[in-house]
Structure 1
Amino acid sequence: MMAIVNSSKQLALQNRKELFYNVFATLNRLEIDASPVNYELMYEIVSGNNPELREKFSRLSKPICEEELDALARVYLPHHFGKSIHDQSANRLQSELTTLKESLMSGQNSLSNYTSMLGQATGKISSADPRDMNTIQSQLQAIRQMTEVQHSASTQILERVSDQMSAVAAIVSDVEAFERTKFTHLLTNLANRRGFNKKLAELYGGETYPDGVSLLLCNLLALDAFEAKELIKVKEAILERLGFAVTRAVQATDFSAWLERPQIGILVWTTAEAEIQKMADQLRKSCLAAFDSRQGKMPAIIARFGCSTTYDGGTASELVGQAEKALQTATETACDKVVFFSAGGAGGARKDWMLYRR
């Protein structure tokens, strides 16, 4: 058993080295600067992790210019541009807050002047002869005029402050939206693989065992037919509908992601096989409905499901690996039902968490 494990590790290491060399060789052949952004972009293309990115990259004219690479990277690798986005937002925020401070200072000065002039007019009324109605009326008129001017000034200041607060809220919203794009698949609006990995890290990163959670993987074999260039727009439309279908099929408390291959990963907060099978059936129906086959041009849709639970997966990598093994079994045996990973006679019995913590 140890020899098999070591052999698997050596093979995985060799594959990573070959991929590493292939990425740099491709960058060199295409005369693309091997920057960290370009390396990760090419890694996603060469590894096959992102067929959508690979398709768009293949359509770029040769020689490939840096502007086109930058445009692709901003869409598919937004985390590399976080610093510039946050710097820009910080500058905008500083400008808006400076203007807001000036508006508030202007309002304070205006109120101070009004208070001073009101005090002077009130003093003149108090010291005037009660029988001198002309002086009293003149001061009362001055007070009315000062009050109207102050009211108008206060209204303008409130409007400016409101506009600046809206601008600050918009900046915050832009930053939050950018942060979401790091972990969101743009077409399906589900979490992307980076978001999926983040969720797994949160799940296994706590002090308590991640009890009673299942990972359901779904492989949609029909999507392979849409890799052709002429069908890219059709595929994008289907992906949008699939994302909506997946969102409707899962519970609000569950977590769904678009992983490219296998396409769908769902973290379900239950280990009851009947409930998971029910979700898979609903997901299959929803995915079928996302393909418009009324014109008879769509290929037959095949969905395969594999599942593992945190009782069998003591680490995130184990959980994913076991679900992938179950999915592979479902695909190879053409099984329409969910294939549940079984730890060889253990019957899915819970492992001691502390034995498997990394």
Structure 2
Amino acid sequence: MAIANPSPKQLAQQSRKELFYTVFATLNRLEIDASPVNYELMYEIVSGNNPELREKFARLGKPIAAEELEALARAYLPHHFGKSIHDRSADRLQSELTTLKESLLTGQNSLSNYTNMLGQATGKISSADPRDMNAIRSQLQAIRHMTEVQHSASTQILDRVSNQISAVAAITSEVDEFERTKFTHLVTNLANRRGFNKKLAEIYGGEHYPDAVSLLLCNLLVLEPFEAKELIKVKEAILERLGFAVARVVQATDFAAWLERPQIGILVWMTAEAEIQKMADQIRKSALAAFDSRQAKMPVVAARFGCGTTYDAGTASELVGHAEKALQTATDTASDKVVFFSAGGAGDARKDWMLYRE
């Protein structure tokens, strides 16, 4: 039953419900198991959140092989395959910590034995006849020998402990790196779509209304010629340089992501149009430099920018929608300037972007 004059929240709920049924219907039609990883993979494809994934999925042969589907999931949804990594890391960590504990106990026992023997030797010296220099000299030699043995044992134990601490640190670093790559676009080293959605959830998920945050979207209209398989290495090199260039432009407090389409999304904690325009100009110059090559003729870079602010957006999906509308206007009018969203043109309902709210 249709709802008369539905609210934006009701429209969003209806949109999510329709998308839910569409995803399961598509899985059923393609005879794909509706597992959590396959559901999220199909969600990304059907919703349009990840055009690159959608294109790669469309190129798969029919019927779709489970191995090809898993390869896509491992590339685009690595967090679903983290349990085995965490399990292996936990086992290795437990082993290293057990060995570390054994080394420390060995060191404690060695030091305790040395202390006891040192006490005994000292007692013999105290009770010896002061005129019996041979007995005193013998005990002093025994003390010197025990000290040398203890020093050697302590050095070995310290080396073992140091190596085990390094091994524990390496395991922790491996887990941290895995966690980082879940939200990172590996070629540009910027955040990926998942990281971008997570950041939006943080902005709108707090107790206070997000204040003075702008979303700047950018399309670079030059990447299409590099989609061919034989140019994939060239494209990756360009993307790596672009990611480095964008990271240099944004402030430490800002957040930059590579979204595939639109390619660049930057969340900045300001709304001053002049400053945002300055950032866009810097990104355009950096993009020009990234495509510059003396070995081959590169296409002219055309960058289009659209911007929306949290002042006009009550939800994350509205913020993204406003910025996308502004970006579309910039693209349609071939504007080199940032197009800022005007609330007068708002009102269209959009899909829910908050799949990764935590």
Aligned ranges for residues 5-24 of structure 1 at < 5 Å?
Answer: 17-18=21-22, 20-24=24-28
User: Counterparts of 1:118 and 1:12 in 2: how far apart (Å)?
Assistant: 77
Over 3 Å counting, the alpha-carbon distance change for 1:4 and 1:294 in structure 2 is farther
What is the SS of the residue equivalent to 1:218? strand
Cα offset for 1:196? 0.7
Aligned ranges for residues 259-274 of structure 1 at < 5 Å?
Answer: 259-274=259-274
Partner of 1:341: 341
Cα offset for 1:110? 0.4
Partner of 2:29: 25
Partner of 2:242: 242
What is the SS of the residue equivalent to 1:219? strand
Give the residue type in structure 2 aligned to 1:209.
Y
Give the residue type in structure 2 aligned to 1:37.
V
Partner of 2:180: 180
Partner of 1:197: 197
Structure with higher RCO (Cα < 8 A, 6+ apart): 2
What is the SS of the residue equivalent to 1:344? helix
Cα offset for 1:265? 0.4
User: Counterparts of 2:234 and 2:300 in 1: how far apart (Å)?
Assistant: 16
- What percent identity do the matched residue pairs reach? 80
Partner of 2:161: 161
Aligned 8 A contact 1:23 1:43 in 2: no
Cα offset for 1:224? 2.3
Partner of 2:38: 38
Over 3 Å counting, the alpha-carbon distance change for 1:294 and 1:58 in structure 2 is farther
Aligned 8 A contact 1:55 1:229 in 2: no
Aligned ranges for residues 201-350 of structure 1 at < 5 Å?
Answer: 201-294=201-294, 297-344=297-344
Partner of 1:107: 107
User: Counterparts of 1:240 and 1:250 in 2: how far apart (Å)?
Assistant: 16
Aligned 8 A contact 2:24 2:34 in 1: no
Over 3 Å counting, the alpha-carbon distance change for 1:67 and 1:122 in structure 2 is farther
Deviations 1:171-226 (A, max 9, x none): 11111111101110111100011111111111122222322111100011222232
Greater Cα shift, 299-308 or 258-267 = 299-308
Give the residue type in structure 2 aligned to 1:143.
I
Aligned 8 A contact 2:27 2:33 in 1: no
Over 3 Å counting, the alpha-carbon distance change for 1:2 and 1:231 in structure 2 is farther
Over 3 Å counting, the alpha-carbon distance change for 1:46 and 1:230 in structure 2 is farther
Instruction: List gaps (5 residues or longer) in structure 1.
Output: 347-358
What is the SS of the residue equivalent to 2:223? helix
Over 3 Å counting, the alpha-carbon distance change for 1:18 and 1:56 in structure 2 is closer
Cα offset for 1:345? 9.2
User: Counterparts of 1:7 and 1:167 in 2: how far apart (Å)?
Assistant: 52
Partner of 2:128: 128
Over 3 Å counting, the alpha-carbon distance change for 1:230 and 1:39 in structure 2 is farther
Over 3 Å counting, the alpha-carbon distance change for 1:10 and 1:68 in structure 2 is closer
Partner of 1:75: 75
| CA RMSD of superposed structures (Å) | 2.8
Partner of 1:354: none
What is the SS of the residue equivalent to 1:299? coil
User: Counterparts of 1:45 and 1:113 in 2: how far apart (Å)?
Assistant: 67
User: Counterparts of 1:11 and 1:37 in 2: how far apart (Å)?
Assistant: 21
Aligned 8 A contact 2:187 2:239 in 1: yes
User: Counterparts of 1:249 and 1:210 in 2: how far apart (Å)?
Assistant: 23
User: Counterparts of 1:175 and 1:221 in 2: how far apart (Å)?
Assistant: 37
TM-score normalised by structure 2 residue count: 0.86
TM-score normalised by structure 1 residue count: 0.86
Aligned 8 A contact 2:51 2:261 in 1: no
Cα offset for 1:11? 7.4
Aligned ranges for residues 93-104 of structure 1 at < 5 Å?
Answer: 93-104=93-104
User: Counterparts of 1:290 and 1:335 in 2: how far apart (Å)?
Assistant: 21
Give the residue type in structure 2 aligned to 1:105.
L
Aligned 8 A contact 1:254 1:269 in 2: yes
Give the residue type in structure 1 aligned to 2:145.
Q
User: Counterparts of 1:130 and 1:7 in 2: how far apart (Å)?
Assistant: 100
* Residue-pair matches, total: 342
Give the residue type in structure 2 aligned to 1:278.
K
User: Counterparts of 1:113 and 1:50 in 2: how far apart (Å)?
Assistant: 65
Cα offset for 1:24? 3.9
Deviations 1:121-169 (A, max 9, x none): 1111111100000000000000000000000001111111111111111
What is the SS of the residue equivalent to 2:304? strand
Aligned 8 A contact 1:215 1:308 in 2: yes
Aligned 8 A contact 2:19 2:47 in 1: no
What is the SS of the residue equivalent to 2:271? coil
What is the SS of the residue equivalent to 1:239? helix
Cα offset for 1:20? 4.6
Cα offset for 1:15? 6.3
Deviations 1:10-61 (A, max 9, x none): 77865664455334433x2xxx544332343354456554454456667778
Partner of 1:147: 147
User: Counterparts of 2:53 and 2:323 in 1: how far apart (Å)?
Assistant: 26
Over 3 Å counting, the alpha-carbon distance change for 1:71 and 1:119 in structure 2 is farther
Over 3 Å counting, the alpha-carbon distance change for 1:208 and 1:267 in structure 2 is same
Aligned 8 A contact 1:307 1:341 in 2: yes
What is the SS of the residue equivalent to 2:344? coil
Instruction: List gaps (5 residues or longer) in structure 2.
Output: 347-358
